[in-house]
Amino acid sequence: MHERPLDGVRVLDLTNVLAGPYCTYHLALLGAEVVKVEVPGRGDLARRLGPDPELNAAGLGASFLAQNAGKKSVELDLKHSTGREHFTELVTHADVLVENYRAGVLARLGFPWERLRALNPALVYCAITGFGQSGPMSQAPAYDQIIQGLSGMMSITGTPETAPLRVGFPVADTVGGLSAALAITAALAGRRHDGRGRFLDVSMLEASLSAMGWAVSNYVVSGTEPQPMGDQNATAAPSGTFTAADGPLNIAANRQEQFETLCRLVGREDLISHPHYAGREARKQHRARLNEELNVALRARPAADWERILPAAGVPAARILTVAQAVAADQVAGRGFFTDLPYPPGTPGAATARTDGALRVSGSGVLHDGEALTPPSAPPVLGEHNDSLPELLARWREADRRHERPRAGSAQS
């Protein structure tokens, strides 16, 4: 793919750890030039996070490597006058600024929205925080697990005996980052019509509530409070995890015809006309007994057999994989979801301990005109692009001159 949707878009990335870097990683995949502005000598906290102590010590923790490919890194101290001067020039010529400091931190460093907008009326400024820039919790620290708890997500994860449980990956951070990336691309599209920048105030808590879908909407619309149901689907039955001969199997026979097909294929046509299972609501009320009946029949074959037989007949079903199995799946490989890159310079043991010496990073899950968008370069070492900062600034200034974009002194209301 020669052109990407965000080619030519210049992004300043002041983010740390997950939600913010995940947002800007997707912007980089879409073609934006993303420049990480990192604290000198320390950088993104994720540089020291991951299961490999050697990588962490080198400032190349797995958490950092996973979502910073394709970006540049410059070290600037925004508490020092020289750092602020360089940052001022960068932000004057940037299209997007993303940060996930606690609310008000960037303003206290001398860069409130009013000043940023005066410097660059076309700037899209996105601030990602746990709770947003306003409200009684705006100054509270927030990590993914805190948001999961406050959103109600943990209260419906697990069974009545095990809830509340944390979802097994940082879903609130991920949803917050995706919401921010969507808002930024929308703001860039809107800017084409009016030339104005935007201030985007992203709340991870609110983004998580939005992503919870029916669990929230069923309550706010009908007053029905969701309960933890383990691996079962509250909206339909039989729908959840079942037991094949060699292990677990997911089946989602949510529609009447799917239920009937399932019963025929497992040799239990008698269940179709049974008064406890004939209709959708009846099946939900007698879910436990129905699941027992189906599990007895499903144990006749291994899960892989059912994964082949049921979907071919229109019944959604699949094995439950480990992360290692999912990563190795032919379906994922066939769409080019993962990209192999060289490790950053100086990565300890990259050519030996790390399998074939390649760093594998994920994509976005979206094909553009049939092609997966892949990062153009490895994640940067801390300050890798310090020496090229003058050239970068000169290039950004020249791009603004060519496009005649309004800058400092021409702020629009």
Provide the CB-side half-sphere exposure for 371 (13 A, CA): 11
Task: Give me 220's structure tokens.
Answer: 């706010």
Sign, Cα dihedral of 15, 19, 25, 30: negative
Determine whether 387 is an active site residue: no
Indicate which residue of 13, 44, 173, 201 is catalytic.
173
Residue 252 vs residues 155, 234, 268, 295: alpha-carbon distances, Å: 23, 11, 17, 14
Mapped to the 3 state alphabet, what secondary structure does the chain carry? CCCCCCCCCEEEEECCCCHHHHHHHHHHHCCCEEEEEECCCCCCHHHHCCCCHHHHHCCCCHHHHCCCCCCEEEECCCCCHHHHHHHHHHHHHCCEEEECCCCCHHHHCCCCHHHHHHHCCCCEEEEEECCCCCCCCCCCCCCHHHHHHHCCCHHHCCCCCCCCCCCCCCHHHHHHHHHHHHHHHHHHHHHHHHCCCEEEEEEHHHHHHHHCCHHHHHHHHHCCCCCCCCCCCCCCCCEEEEEECCEEEEEECCCHHHHHHHHHHCCCCHHHHCCCCCCHHHHHHCHHHHHHHHHHHHCCCCHHHHHHHHHHCCCCEEECCCHHHHHCCHHHHHCCCEEEEECCCCCCCCCCCCCCCEEEEECCCCEECCEECCCCCCCCCCCCCCCCHHHHHHHHHHHHHHHCCCCCCCCCC
Residue holding tokens 């079962």?
232
Distance (Å, whole) CA 21 – CA 25: 6
Catalytic residue numbers, as ranges: 173
